[in-house]
Amino acid sequence: MAESSASFYTKSTNKYSGILSWLLTKDHKRIGLMYMMAIISFFVVGIIIGLLMRLELISPGRTIMDAQTYNTLFTLHGVIMIFLFIIPGLPAIFGNFFLPIQIGAEDVAFPRLNLLSWYVYIIGAVLVLVSLFLPGGPIDTGWTFYIPYSVRSTTNVSMALFAAFVLGFSSILTGINFITTVHRMRAPGMGFFKMPLFVWATYATAWIQILATPVIAITIILVIIERSFGVGIFDPALGGDPILFQHMFWIYSHPAVYIMILPAMGVVSEIIPTFARRTIFGYKAIAMSSLAIAFVGYLVWAHHMFSSGMSDTARWIFSLLTFIVALPSGVKIFNWVATMYKGSIDPQPPFLWVMNFIFLFSIGGLTGLVLGSLATDVHLTDTYFVVAHFHYVMFGGTGTIFFAALHYWFPKMFGKMYNIRFSQIAVALYFIGFNMLYFPKFIMGYMGMPRRYYDYLPQFTTLQRISTVGSWILAGTIFFIFGYFIHALRKGKKATSNPWGGVTLEWHIPSPPPLENFVKLPEIKDDPYDFSQLKEMKDE
């Protein structure tokens, strides 16, 4: 038995050693870590581009770059952050690593396909990079690729679009894999309603991935064809309809925001019970609200198009539906709060990150309602208000949970503990930096500062400067975090198998986990968040 409990770092699924044993691995844990390496690298690139844009905006007029450079930078920043960081982030890293473990499985249903989807992701990423250097120059359409400019632009739009297509393919493959895994690989006794909520959330996400991504795939293909052959489908000069492009784009891209946020909500539902030492309140309601979000999230796409030409009836219907989709999210928030109520809360770093999330995400969510209402949206659309809103939702929401998940699962993934004191400081600095960076954008947007401009009127100078200083604090904090994690990898104390007192299956096995996850098949008798088992677990 000693041999089979060797960690997945020392034992591999193939006969190779060293780097090849990783590049050809079929182990979901190693693939999760490979995603982590790639995704964090692109995240850092995205941050650096963000910093450059903020530096340009430190004073009015041209500071360090011209308008065209700024155009390509916000486009790249958007494409990298959306397609390379935030969409794959949680499912591909933590979903890969923990979904099989949390349902008591040895691996995902299709390990080889899993590896393939990593390679497809890398190919997509390389294509993005290649599109920067080909003649024609980097793409400048904004990450939304709106027609007609994306057909007229002479930059490498087709290449970048194709990259997005390839990345979508990777996302679909991961989705298929996870759905099949959840249906077919659960350990004996692990009924659907005994699955941890992170699994539920990832499962719902996987459905959106396979239901929505094909629509963006065909839209992208159509734009590429339009650019190369001029078939007229989106070109008004030939009878086509640019608004149709916007519909098809958002039919994917709105559900995509749920691809981003649902797994994050799943992580929150894991962390809160663990640190409140109480079983989750309203388990079924949380599980079902994930599915409800996945479904209703399909019917609200046109709230991105209130000012682009639609009938009034369509506009108020979409506005109404947008308000309705806030309900299942509200259900989750109530259940989280109810879980904490009268719990014995242990404010360890992962929990503090979740608090950060609740605060930032609430601001993002509430300002979303401002944009979801017709009258206010017409005033605020395409201003900094929108920029602030989506950074609060995506970055403050999913981005923050990315860090929460890292702090929660790091000891399990690497078997090392990081410095708790440092991470408490990081939580505070992150909070300050984030709000300094983005809150002024709400005010500027309200005052009329449009998005996607490298220049601004002098009256915005103070607020823009505050925002730029905020970007330094935030980015500095993020690098500090990566710094203490790397330090922990090298010099950190050994982590125990259950440092936080969690009860889901991953805390029943050693840190880092053995290659086959479970030395003996787990027997599922308790509810996923039944903390009475903690005492037995200590004796194990």
Partner 1 sequence: MSNHSDTVHHKDNVSAKMGMWLFLFTEVLLFGGMFLVYAVYRYQYQDQFKLAAMELNTGIGTLNTIILLSSSLTVALSIAAMQKGNKFLSLVFLYCTQIFALMFMVNKFFEWSTKISHGLFPGSKELLAKPNGQILFYGLYYVMTGLHGIHVIIGMIAIAFIIVFIHRDKVTQQDFIKLENTGLYWHLVDLIWIFLFPLFYLIQ
Say if residues 356 and 424 touch (Cβ distance below 8 Å). no
Q: How far apart are CA 139 and CA 146, in angstroms?
A: 12
State the minimum distance, in angstroms, from the CB of residue 230 to partner 1. 5
State the minimum distance, in angstroms, from the CB of residue 440 to ligand HEM. 12
Binders of partner 1: how many residues, by CB under 8 A?
Answer: 46
Among 217, 267, 405, 427, binds partner 1 (CB under 8 A): 217
Among 59, 180, 373, 424, binds partner 1 (CB under 8 A): 180
Residue 165 identity? F
CA neighbor of 486 nearest in space, from 397, 394, 387, 419: 419
Residues in region 216-255 near Cu ion by CB under 5 A: 254
- When the beta carbons of 299 and 447 are compared against Cu ion, the nearer one is 299
State the minimum distance, in angstroms, from the CB of residue 330 to ligand HEM. 23
3-state SS, residue 494: strand
The stretch near partner 1 (CB under 8 A) out of 182-190, 326-334, 381-389, 424-432 is 182-190
Sketch the per residue contact string, 123 through 142, with partner 1: x for CB under 8 A, - otherwise.
Answer: --------------------
Cis peptide before 91 (omega within 30 of 0): no
Q: Is 241 in the site for partner 1 (CB under 8 A)?
A: yes
Q: Is 515 in the site for partner 1 (CB under 8 A)?
A: yes
Q: How far apart are CA 340 and CA 67, in angstroms?
A: 49
Q: Distances from the Cα of 242 to the Cαs of 112, 325, 371, in angstroms?
A: 40, 27, 23
- When the beta carbons of 475 and 524 are compared against ligand HEM, the nearer one is 475
- When the beta carbons of 64 and 221 are compared against partner 1, the nearer one is 221
493 φ, ψ (degrees, to nearest 5)? -70, 155
Residues in region 88-117 near partner 1 by CB under 8 A: 106-107, 109-111, 113
CA neighbor of 266 nearest in space, from 202, 348, 198: 198
State the minimum distance, in angstroms, from the CB of residue 217 to ligand HEM. 20
State the minimum distance, in angstroms, from the CB of residue 243 to partner 1. 10
Q: How far apart are CA 179 and CA 488, in angstroms?
A: 34
State the minimum distance, in angstroms, from the CB of residue 325 to Cu ion. 9
Q: Distances from the Cα of 240 to the Cαs of 143, 231, 233, 283, 353, in angstroms?
A: 22, 9, 5, 48, 48
Q: Is 215 in the site for partner 1 (CB under 8 A)?
A: yes
Cis peptide before 349 (omega within 30 of 0): no
Q: Is 177 in the site for partner 1 (CB under 8 A)?
A: yes
* Residue whose entry in the numeric block shows the structure tokens 């009015």: 60
Q: Is 519 in the site for partner 1 (CB under 8 A)?
A: yes
CA neighbor of 128 nearest in space, from 185, 88, 79, 85: 79
Residues in touch with Cu ion (CB under 5 A): 254
Which residues of the chain form contacts with partner 1 (CB under 8 A)?
1, 3-4, 11, 13, 26, 106-107, 109-111, 113, 172, 175-177, 179-180, 183-185, 210-211, 213-215, 217-219, 221-222, 225, 229-233, 238-241, 244, 248, 515-516, 519
